[in-house]
Amino acid sequence: MITYLYWFVVFALVAGALFGIGIKAQNWKAAIAIALVILVAGWGTYFFRLQQVFVKRYGGVMSISVPAGQHHLAATWKDDNLWIENYDPKTNTCTFSEYSKGNMLQGKVTITNCNPLIPQK
């Protein structure tokens, strides 16, 4: 919910800039420039700072897909970074993957000969 509220505020600011500067002041170049700055700043702030904070602390929205051929085992938070554990039955390895803010500093830990007690077919 907080994620949708954030984007509503960003788009309301864009609409306000377009209406206030573009329509009322008749300065469309400045209105479009300011609207683009607001959009880029809003996107950058969300992607590099707020997305995982919203999800962890306030019930935001985030999607992660499990790679093809792997099985999801666990997920945990370390500070504001999400760690996902997946099992690859073809290589018999467990992989912990970090999803950090903005995907800038992603860690990866691989455990070989992992046996997560998943029934074999």
Whether residue 80 sits in one domain with residue 51: no
Domain count for the chain, please give it.
2
CB 81 within 8 A of CB 101: yes
pLDDT of residue 121: 61
The pair of three-digit structure tokens given for residue 96, joined into one six-digit string: 């912990």
Determine the residue type at 117.
L
pLDDT at 64: 84
Same domain, 54 and 76: no
Residues 76, 48 share a domain: no
pLDDT by residue for the chain (121 residues), tens digit each?
A: 788 899 999 999 999 999 999 888 899 999 999 999 999 999 999 988 888 888 888 887 778 889 899 999 999 988 878 899 999 989 989 999 888 776 666 788 999 988 777 666 6
Residue showing tokens 């950058």:
44
Domain that holds residue 75: 71-112
Contact 85, 95 (CB under 8 A): yes
**Tokens representing residue 97 in the block:** 């993957």
| Residue 52 located in a structural domain | yes
Q: Is the pTM of this model over 0.95?
A: no
Q: Are 55 and 77 in contact (CB under 8 A)?
A: no
